[in-house]
A and B are shown apart, each in its own frame.
Chain A
Amino acid sequence: MQELALIRPGRKADTELVLERDKTALKREFEDRLAECGTLAFRVARSVLRNASDAEDVAQEAMLQAYRRFERLRDPSRFRVWLVRITFRLALDQARSSRRREQRETVWAGAVPRPTPEDLAASRDFGRRLDQTMETLSEKSRLILVLSAMDGHSLEEVAELLQVPLGTVKSRLHTARKRLAEKLR
């Protein structure tokens, strides 16, 4: 037989109702923010990771973390700043761990596989070279390049997202592009 507990529902009911209302409002607000910033999170993750599926996983994790801390991140500008940072960080971690896994698997396989003609053809592909070169840049430079290349992001908005002065964004962007070009030349 199941045990029963004695409760006084009337006293808790009002508090519960207020809490429930708060929770519903919070959830609705987060839904709006999700629709507004979900793609941004995906794009930031995608800029670091090589496939869209991994990027979706990372963006999802970032949004979940954002939801858990949403009470502190209700201010929309603060939310975007936080989301960009956390997504970028999570994506970098994910990229690092995939790289480590790849290296381990290569070591376990015993020998480094020789590149196939297809690999060689792919290595000539500019996009791939760009990806590889991006990985050699500093995190700050990468984030600046990614955010400023996103549609609808002016340099002022990038400055706001990264919380640095506009001049800093301009100079960092210039240096990052030059460094990228230097390595791709």
Chain B
Amino acid sequence: MKCDKYRGTLIDGAATGGKLEGGLAGHLKVCAQCRARMQEEQSLFEAIDDALRSKVNEIPQASFLAGVRAQIWKETAPKSRWSLMWAMASAALALIAVTHPWTRPPRQPVEAGLPKAPTISVQQKSELAGSKRDSTMGSSATARIQQHLAKQLIAEQASHREPEVLVPPDEGKAFVQFVARLRQRDEVAQAFVTPAPSTAADENKELPQIPPVEIARLQLKPLIWEEGK
């Protein structure tokens, strides 16, 4: 009867592995059967803990992390492949794009190039409406339109300050990356605009040395001229 009373606390005691409560400890001293039961329970919990520990502390293969890295790399890699030809073509275009703002002559004043077309359209509109406006009214409307058009043109030209480049559509992003990288490398642009040696004295001068441009996932090789190609 007493053994049944302590059954629950016995299992709890074995599970926690801590100090046993007074009543149970006293009972275990006098009851060999419950002592044996207690030992059985304790070894069962130890076996559970050991088995769990050995199961959950397994070390993955060394290739596991490399595999995950490769998978992530595959996921982030660009979809289209760069061919060397397009890379070189874009590189050449990029150099032109970078040096273009320095070599371009200053722009003409905006008003000088204004189109005449709006004046004509306004006049035509006036005629079609059959109105009897005098010439001063017509010219003021024309002036307003001209002003408006001038503003439009200024805005348009401001938006065109960046050079435009023709590239294959699927190479646009990579090309932009190339230009971005070149922007950090002033020496590349300087080397590009340095005049070629024209005299014997110039030839002795040292040409600027530039380390190669590096862009992740893009291999850049110098153009090599081959006879007959």
- Chain A interface residues toward B at CB < 8 A: 2-14, 16-17, 20, 23-24, 27, 30-31, 34-35, 38-39, 42-43, 46-47, 52, 55-56, 59-60, 63-64, 67-68, 126-127, 130-131, 145-146, 149-151, 174, 177-178, 180-181, 184-185
| Cβ-Cβ contact count across A and B, 8 Å cutoff | 154
Task: Tell me if B194 is interfacial: C-beta within 8 Å of chain A.
Answer: no
Query: Is there an interface contact between A5 and B44, defined as CB atoms closer than 8 Å?
Result: no
- Minimum Cβ distance to chain A for residue B81 (Å): 14
29 contacting pairs across A/B (C-beta < 8 A) = A3-B168, A5-B168, A7-B164, A7-B176, A9-B176, A10-B162, A10-B163, A13-B176, A16-B177, A27-B72, A27-B76, A31-B69, A38-B60, A38-B68, A42-B58, A43-B58, A60-B68, A63-B72, A126-B51, A131-B55, A146-B52, A149-B52, A174-B12, A174-B15, A174-B16, A181-B11, A181-B45, A181-B48, A185-B44
Task: Tell me if B114 is interfacial: C-beta within 8 Å of chain A.
Answer: no
Query: Is there an interface contact between A127 and B172, defined as CB atoms closer than 8 Å?
Result: no
B residues near A3, Cβ cutoff 8 Å: 168-169
Among all A-B residue pairs, the 3 with the closest Cβ atoms:
A13-B180, A17-B180, A10-B162
Question: If A47-B55, A177-B45, A184-B44 touch, does A9 touch B165 (CB 8 Å cutoff)?
Answer: yes
From the candidates B49, B55, B61, name the one contacting A127 in the complex (CB within 8 A): B55
Given A12-B176, A60-B68, A181-B48, 9 more A-B residue pairs with CB atoms under 8 Å apart are A5-B168, A13-B177, A42-B60, A47-B56, A63-B71, A64-B72, A149-B57, A150-B56, A178-B11
Query: Is there an interface contact between B67 and A60, defined as CB atoms closer than 8 Å?
Result: yes
A6 to B171, CA, bound (A): 11
From the candidates A39, A64, A178, name the one contacting B75 in the complex (CB within 8 A): A64
Chain B residues 152 to 196 lying within 8 A of chain A, measured CB to CB, are 162-169, 172-173, 175-181, 183-184
Question: If A43-B58, A126-B47, A177-B48 touch, does A59 touch B64 (CB 8 Å cutoff)?
Answer: yes
Query: Is there an interface contact between A52 and B162, defined as CB atoms closer than 8 Å?
Result: no
A177 to B200, CA, bound (A): 91
- Minimum Cβ distance to chain A for residue B145 (Å): 29
Query: Is there an interface contact between A146 and B167, defined as CB atoms closer than 8 Å?
Result: no
- Chain B interface residues toward A at CB < 8 A: 11-12, 15-16, 41, 44-45, 47-49, 51-61, 64-65, 67-69, 71-72, 75-76, 94, 97, 162-169, 172-173, 175-181, 183-184, 216
* Interface class of chain B by DSSP: helix
From the candidates B12, B48, B54, B172, name the one contacting A184 in the complex (CB within 8 A): B48
- Minimum Cβ distance to chain A for residue B159 (Å): 9
Counting chain A CB atoms within 10 Å of each CB, the highest count among B11, B55, B61, B176 belongs to: B176
A61 to B45, CA, bound (A): 34
Query: Is there an interface contact between B56 and A46, defined as CB atoms closer than 8 Å?
Result: yes
